[in-house]
A = this chain, B = another copy of it.
């Protein structure tokens, strides 16, 4: 493991310790995520914890699934940040969605012949491959988990809608701030970040590919936000200093 990895992992570890909810204990981020959507029994939780076998540590900026690959089982992100993306022949890449710890992707894609998009790590990630059968088994025998998965999917779709909206009608600043809100909120939901501060192990290139603007412009927008005293971002750590003003910038 490179020291880059250990640096980033420790970022998450630090945030992981303090405020553990009632469901936590030994349960992983998946249980924490799903538990927020539907009440899970200890039996459900046990089943979930058995899901994450075949873990692996993956370095940053590595493909988990390449565009065009044959459809296979699902992935579970245990640590780090990954993404779905589309890459054009021109080399341009658009990130479609972020995959954060606790995200299970993609139970439903089984019916698709081939992946029409790729999945790649952005930061170093601990990832578990989950066979399709295991997911189906889980859904069949644990209705509460199935419900939570459905709700979690709906949430992801809603996020995708607002992501698309931001791309369609939003200046660069707005898109960037919204992205920061989304990341912090989602990390917060699984206990990996504070509401206004958390790890952000993404490069400016990654951010640019999320919100559909050039890297250079990401840099300039960031500096403007910093100069205005609205946020801090350094060393892979993001702090929102003036949430009210930031919300005004994000609009709506």
Residues of A within 8 A of B (CB): 84, 86, 88-90, 92-94, 96, 108-109, 111-112, 116-117, 150-151, 154, 157-158, 160-165, 167-169, 209, 211-212, 251-252
Chain B residues, CB < 8 A from A112: 154, 158
Q: How far is the CA of A90 from the CA of B162 in the complex (A)?
A: 15
CA distance A214 to B151 in the complex (A): 35
Across the interface, A90 reaches (CB within 8 A) one of B84, B86, B88, B251, namely: B251
CA distance A90 to B211 in the complex (A): 20
In the assembled complex, how far is the CB of residue A8 from the closest CB belonging to chain B, in whole angstroms?
26
Quote the shortest CB–CB distance from A195 to chain B (angstroms).
22
Say how far A216's CB is from chain B's closest CB, in angstroms.
15
Chain B residues closer than 8 Å to A116, beta-carbon distance: 158, 161-162
Q: Let me know if B252 and A169 touch, CB within 8 A.
A: no
Contacting residues, chain B, for A109 (C-beta < 8 A): 154
Q: Which residue of B lies closest to A93 (CB)?
A: B169
Q: Which of B93, B117, B168, B252 contacts A161 (CB 8 A)?
A: B117
Using A111-B150, A154-B112 as known contacts, say yes or no to A252 and B88 having CB atoms under 8 A apart: yes
- Given A88-B169, A161-B117, A164-B164, A111:B251 Cβ within 8 A: no
